[in-house]
Amino acid sequence: MDIQNLHINTQLIHPSDQKESLGSITLPIYQTSTFEFQDAQHGADLFAGKENGFIYTRMGNPTIRELENALCILERGSGAIATSTGMGAISGMYMALLSKGDHILSTASVYGNSRAILESEFAKFGIESTFIDTSDLNLIQKSIKSHTKIFFVETPANPSLSITDIEAVSQIAKKNKLIFVVDNTFCSPINQRPLELGADIVIHSLTKLISGHSDVLGGVVIAKDEALNKKLRTTITRMGCTMDPHQAFLIHRGLKTLSVRIEKAQSNAEKIAKYMHSNKKFAYLCYPGLKFHPQHLIAKRQMKGFGTIITFDLDESAEKAKLFLNQLKLIRLAVSLGSVESLIQHPASMTHSVLSPKEREECGIHAGLIRLSVGIEEAEDLIADIEQASKNI
Measure the CA–CA gap between 377 and 270, rounded to whole angstroms.
Answer: 13
Q: Which residues are designated catalytic?
A: 58, 111, 183, 208
258 SS3 class:
helix
Q: Is the dihedral of CA 298, 302, 304, 308 positive or negative?
A: negative
Max CA pair span of the chain: 74
**150: Cβ contacts below 8 Å, ≥ 6 apart:** 94, 97, 98, 102, 104, 105, 178, 179, 180, 181
Give the other-Cβ count within 10 Å of 323's Cβ: 15
* CA dist., res. 91 & res. 88, Å (int): 5
205: phi then psi, degrees, rounded to nearest 5:
-85, 105
Residue type, 202: V
Separation between Cα atoms, residue 160 and residue 366, nearest integer Å:
9
CA proximity to 79, closest of 70, 91, 88: 70
Other CB atoms within 10 Å distance of the CB of residue 306? 24
| Spatial distance between the Cα atoms of 224 and 167, rounded to a whole number of angstroms | 15
